[in-house]
Structure 1
């Protein structure tokens, strides 16, 4: 057999071996793996009849509790309709989780496919050449992220906190509009930490009032989630801290605490100290830095709510436009 014939067989074998998944009567062919995390993976899939591409998120559930978390994510996506929050196209469960018999189930979420990928991907590419975004583009993207967060924080009847806001959880459309994704946590906006719960957290407990610490990325995590005070109130202002880290990343390509992590220093200590370093040769004004510091206040009671952030951002945009 010649090389061409062998090559054709190999290619045909690859095509034949591609996974095909049926979700509520629609068949999808898996094209490639887009990404993996600790709790899920995302594949690029193509709907067989329309040839349209989607992102298929698979969440492996090892327990009934895991299934509840996955179902909660699906329910949130079904309720939320906002141009800057990702839309759920379809979903289903396959199998049933059972710890006793070591069985797992899988949740399948069909989501829009964004060719540009995430804001993290985009900023990483620009960082290679230190190609900073224009401040007007930064504030436009940031404002749209704020509007999505406001929609969550003002949601009725129960306000929602994202709890894992970061550049990797923001997709970008072809027009460079941000779209929030990954609402995977118990998202009650506000809960009270008792003395007992604070002690448990300090002893290494990873959950308080249904809040799973490991689902919140360390370099975007608010100080009150590193060190829980007795009888404190944890509310939606954890998202405001993360939002400050996102704005810093829009300026300098990564969270200020990513830099700490990469040096091998303690992120915990850096976050609790609240010390933020801005590059000396930065092409941005002090006003933009002040907006970041406005959000990165260690004491959550001194941290602004989303409406305050939007008002300050609007004022800054107007000031920049008047200067131009």
Structure 2
């Protein structure tokens, strides 16, 4: 049985309360809120015995369907074996989800805490200081992201797609290794669309769960009869590398979204331009364009991306 309690703390003469949680016998103290989204919130917590810090993801479920989606996220994290993909430490459910009587349950997922924050945090800091990563460092970081994504695409018994890959969903470990996080949108990669109804359902799901500026073209305009596969993630990967190389730490479609213009039209046009002051090589720009092909059937699979990235790393090393 899961229980939620409160502890009264006195610090520097102030009366404070900190939420206490017990998850499968382990007691945690909530220290701070890290992030909040449409479906969940993430708190920084500390194990009351070991004093180890963790990230606690709380997903509020208004129905059994919501709860099943949250449990599916946990199950998928268990299926993916990669040093570059986040792992579940523990999980539990409290309450009962019932949309009829407006009752909710909450799914707790205990995750590693990465004090270096996200790749987006890191890029923002560098952009403010005009401290751009050397090209070799960008590529080493990027190939780690690719290796994590390969674990999704090689998952058994069938390939998985992350479907919300972006710089904010990549954390940096203590050793500055990239860790793919937030599998809330992850799903079976290969989907056969048969008819307008199925196409509209996938389009609606993408609008709900896939960040607009990293979303692949085929998820904006879903054809009535088509196959959607893991190469949706390759488009997002191209947007990530673009952001890593951008002086403003933004992906190609961030400025369009910020101006209020149509991101869908911009994505479907496939018109990618690099800033005049881009400090990275033509080879790097070509690698980005290799992934940002609007026709998903012309877009590479992750193996080709890793091969090209390693070739570029080798080319840089040969110059030293």
With the length of structure 1 as denominator, give the TM-score of the two structures.
0.92
In the aligned structure 1, how far is the partner of 2:103 from the partner of 2:212?
30
- C-alpha displacement at 1:263, in angstroms? 2.2
Evaluate the alpha carbon distance shift between residue 9 and residue 235 of structure 1 in structure 2; reply closer, same or farther with a 3 A threshold.
Answer: closer
**Contact 1:69/1:185 (8 A) holds in 2:** no
Match of 2:80 in 1: 80
Evaluate the alpha carbon distance shift between residue 53 and residue 9 of structure 1 in structure 2; reply closer, same or farther with a 3 A threshold.
Answer: closer
- 1:1-324 equivalent positions in 2, closer than 5 A: 11-14=13-16, 17-185=17-185, 187-197=187-197, 200=200, 206-207=204-205, 212-252=206-246, 253-324=249-320
Q: Secondary structure at the match of 1:256?
A: coil
Consecutive unaligned residues in structure 1, runs of 5 or more: 1-7
**Contact 2:81/2:151 (8 A) holds in 1:** no
Cα RMSD (Å): 1.6
Tell me which moved more, 187-196 or 287-296: 187-196
Q: Secondary structure at the match of 1:13?
A: strand
Q: Secondary structure at the match of 2:107?
A: strand
Q: Secondary structure at the match of 1:288?
A: helix
- C-alpha displacement at 1:323, in angstroms? 2.1
- C-alpha displacement at 1:197, in angstroms? 2.8
Match of 2:3 in 1: none
Q: Any idea what the Cα deviations from partners look like across 1:229-282, whole Å, max 9, x if unmatched?
A: 121111000000000001011111121111211122211111000111201121
Match of 1:5 in 2: none
Match of 1:3 in 2: none
In the aligned structure 2, how far is the partner of 1:112 from the partner of 1:184?
16
In the aligned structure 2, how far is the partner of 1:103 from the partner of 1:10?
39
Q: Secondary structure at the match of 1:168?
A: helix
- C-alpha displacement at 1:174, in angstroms? 1.7
**Contact 1:45/1:54 (8 A) holds in 2:** yes
Higher strand share: 2
Tell me which moved more, 215-224 or 78-87: 78-87
Evaluate the alpha carbon distance shift between residue 186 and residue 148 of structure 1 in structure 2; reply closer, same or farther with a 3 A threshold.
Answer: closer
